[in-house]
Structure 1
């Protein structure tokens, strides 16, 4: 894989993983736009995919490191000492785990079918528009709930919504932010829950694919591309998290909605024109 391709795909993965615009859709569209066919060697694609996900995982860990220390510490204390009063941070930690389960199960069962049937530019274009409109609709609700008010029902709703992100073009961050806004959380909390929820999802994807990677072996000559992919996705991912939180605190999700709709229309026009 050329270094410039690894660089571009790393940037696209990092930004689109956390902006509510669909990372899988943007990676597919980027390859389509530049004429970059997926590597013929499946082990190359698998290794690079792991590298990109690891980079975005590190971006969230770096940004939320102080929050994560509290959540992990208090979450483990709930297991070690069940007689201890439930700490809000420990409760949130386990609720985030619960919210991950639906998407994890659906991903294991449906991943190969989704990759084969749904990863077309036309479906991505339609999904960008439809789920962009849903994000706009949910954002019209003037929710004021904060993360301290995140309960089991909320965890199940957001987790169920996250399964829709298996469809390229939906956006995992976008659909979880949509669900959180729909059930009454403020914009900052909706974004935070989405970003924190990405950790078990991304880590699970890495672990799931690493097993096959070790079985196949890391392809020779891919080291530089893997390093570039990790670094660029980590840096761009951190910037995306910071930028999204800054934007939604002071404004709304409208810029992302407009971007999704415009891009979706452009993609559909290009498909119709036979591009």
Structure 2
């Protein structure tokens, strides 16, 4: 059984965990789509995997990506090369940016507007840093969560695998995201369960394994990186689990506040 995974790093969960969940002879090819887009992986690698795939697991890429697209209706795309007899399983780009005060996302600092707006209101840098130290900055967690949840629901509406409910329902019960795009175990457990059901491979043994893995490890996909848990998020969300504040969190986010202040005219 040949499986072609064409996603961002989130597809690594399938590559790592499916062989441990199903009693089948699997040949898995995992190609990170953004590496094909930026040329780090040759397009031909993905094309050959698509042609021979029995199962195609993917995150949608529109026709604007040309031959790298997952659209099946367009000519000469990766999506069009997958056999009509193959099982196609689509999943969203899992993302949530509302669980930390602010963070760096590529060249951008997400939620920097909170600090910029304080500057526009006339607050001096020293005053803003003092507000931060005293826990008096409103990071707009509620508005941000509503927005990021809405976007995710819109994007996953027509896809096979859905995760917005998993994130919102488990938000207070257990960690749900390591970073803005690196989900925790509870999310991946649901993703894998949904896939196994779609493929007709769901068994009690697989369910029990996922439950056990999720109970003992918040990062079953072994994704790198984690934004630190800080007092602002803990105080706002009032998690029901034991959310320990990281010792390095205060200085980590304080340095980002300083960086925004330095970049703000």
The two structures share one fold, judged by TM-score above 0.5: no
Q: Could you say which structure has the higher strand fraction? A: 2
Task: Normalising by structure 2, report the TM-score.
Answer: 0.29
Higher relative contact order (CA 8 A, sep 6+): 1
Q: Radius of gyration: which is bigger? A: 2
Q: Could you say which structure has the higher helix fraction? A: 1
